[in-house]
Amino acid sequence: MTDTYVGSIDQGTTGTRFMIFDHSGQVVGNAYEKHEQIYPNPGWVEHDPLEIWENTKQVIVDGLADAGLDAEQLEALGITNQRETTIVWDRETGKPVHNALVWQDRRTTDRVEELQAEDKVEWIREKTGLEADAYFSATKVEWILDNAEPLKLQSSRGDDLRSRAEEGELLTGTIDAWLIYNLTGNHITDVSNASRTMLYDIEALDWDDDLLAEFDVPKEMVPEVRPSSDEDLYGHTDADGFLGAEIPVAGALGDQQAALFGQTCFDEGDAKNTYGTGSFYLMNTGTEAVSSDHGLLTTIGFQLSGEPVQYALEGSIFITGAAIEWLEDVDLINNAAQTAELARSVKSTDGVYMVPAFTGLGAPHWDGRARGTIVGMTRGTRKEHLVRATLESIAYQTRDVAEAMEADSGVELNALRVDGGAVKNNFLCQLQSDIIQTDIARPEVDETTALGSAYAAGLAVGYWDTVDELRDNWQVDREFSPEADAERVDKMYDRWHDAVDRSLDWAREDEAEGDE
């Protein structure tokens, strides 16, 4: 019998990866393509959806070639994606009416401040578990329908975008829905991605009519919501399409929920932190949606076919790995691998703190007008101090969220499972353990985002029978335990708060306009 596998499309903020996994959860094929980051104005971030789709097809073909496999050897495809990033496209032609607005995009901050002024923040939080923020999809869809007119596709009637949306001619969705549509022709999203739109009631498990009305998003536009692992399948790839085979598309998870799933955090109290462009700390809270009093989000973790939704608390940190990319952009380092060597070459930052609020601050601060700040520099400050301060900022932001998580959940953190590209850096992992004062566990397969969506798809088609099989696959690569003096760390952490205070409420609308 021919060996079979499960494929995972991992569509991220900076690129698209395709990974193929065997039954033991090991990687047998891998391919990656970057896509362009588009910055039309300060604080605006866009992607080209057609470029992402072309890259997706390419990495699937390349990943199969890397593994030496035929498409027919894939039992299922899963999708994981950068969340909140929003596309509006033509139902008939499949062409986007505008570039995707990326989760980092801040152009709708004014709209969010209107909601705050109208005392609608708590109303939104009660329904969605989310803060009112430009981060989420609702204001992005609204902006595209109101402002994409110059780029619209002409319909036969020549109507404006809003009229076309109401007539059902336009569809919207996050990246998972865009890929499912292109792979299968069906307009579907999963519960985890729906929960990130600020349009979905996470306890009623349905699109909320009042929220749709608030943001003027016709219900005809939004996708059907399905379980994250769906035995009824989202659809199949086209036998006459680029793969030349009918492969079930059976699982989807927003990237951070996928990492939670890939880290086998199936039980209440299990927690993980993923270090990518940003960092996202999630704790499984079981079948109860735990509300936050400390600036965290209440979100849907995942749902298996025929089972109740599992909820999570989430701390969303907007910039962590992207801060290391910034060090490259300004020529302080040549590549990310240099950071550990440079940071280790000095005993401390010499009092320098870096707050990487390049796109505002997320949890637990939620300040869309915060901006990147470096404080404490002297003539003796060298690039080594700045590099170390940048790595420390990743660890401090994680501690901010960990303390909020413990306060909301009442669960004391004993160990944190970590994943993502940055955890290959042993110095950062040890630093994180020291600053958060808890054990850090790094798994053998650190691409747990892709693994999580593969698990979801594989469970749906019976490639794996139970989640216990997946637990057996999880293996520790290395553990890190605190080595630094706790009292000294606490003093450094207190000073971090002073640095954060200086970054808050920095951006001003008139200044942004002056740069355009």
284: part of which helix (H) or strand (E)? strand 279-286
Look up residue 29 and give its DSSP letter: E
CA distance 260 to 467: 13
Query: Is 255 known to sit in a ligand binding site?
Result: yes
The answer to whether the CB of 138 falls within 8 A of the CB of 198 is: yes
Residues composing the chain: 516
Between helix 49-67 and helix 175-184 the angle, nearest 10°, is: 70
Query: Is 172 known to sit in a ligand binding site?
Result: no
Query: Is 13 known to sit in a ligand binding site?
Result: yes
Q: Which residues of 463-481 are buried (b: 16+ CB within 10 A; e: fewer)?
A: bbeebebbeebbeeeeebe
CA distance 27 to 30: 7
Look up residue 136 and give its DSSP letter: S
CA distance 481 to 9: 33
Query: Is 22 known to sit in a ligand binding site?
Result: no
Give the three-class secondary structure for 91: coil
Q: Which of 409, 413, 84 is nearest to 273 (CA)?
A: 413
Burial class (CB in 10 A: 0-12, 13-18, 19+), 225: buried
Phi-psi region of 234 (alpha: psi -120 to 50; beta: other; left: phi over 0): alpha
Q: Put the strands of the sheet holding 415-419 in their side by side order.
A: 297-302, 310-317, 279-286, 271-275, 415-419, 439-443, 476-480
Query: Is 311 known to sit in a ligand binding site?
Result: no
Query: Is 55 known to sit in a ligand binding site?
Result: no
Query: Is 421 known to sit in a ligand binding site?
Result: yes
Query: Is 471 known to sit in a ligand binding site?
Result: no
CA distance 201 to 126: 9
Helices (H), ranges, 345-466: 383-409, 426-436, 448-461
Query: Is 14 known to sit in a ligand binding site?
Result: yes
The answer to whether the CB of 285 falls within 8 A of the CB of 257 is: no
| End-to-end CA gap in the chain | 61
Which residues pair with residue 9 across a beta bridge?
Answer: 18, 79
The answer to whether the CB of 288 falls within 8 A of the CB of 298 is: no
Beta strands in 154-229 (DSSP E): 170-174, 188-190, 200-201, 206-207, 224-226
Helices (H) and strands (E) in the chain, counts: 17, 23
For tokens 């701390």, what's the residue?
315
> How many other CB atoms sit within 10 Å of the CB of residue 4?
16
User: Checking DSSP bridges between strand 200-201 and strand 206-207, what pairing results, if any?
Assistant: antiparallel
Query: Is 449 known to sit in a ligand binding site?
Result: no
Detail the residues annotated as belonging to a binding site for glycerol.
83-84, 135, 255-256
Extract the annotated binding site for ADP.
Answer: 13, 17, 277, 321, 421, 425
* Residues annotated within a binding site for ATP: 13-14, 277, 321, 421
Extract the annotated binding site: 13-14, 17, 83-84, 135, 255-256, 277, 321, 421, 425
- Residues at the binding site for sn-glycerol 3-phosphate are 13, 83-84, 135, 255
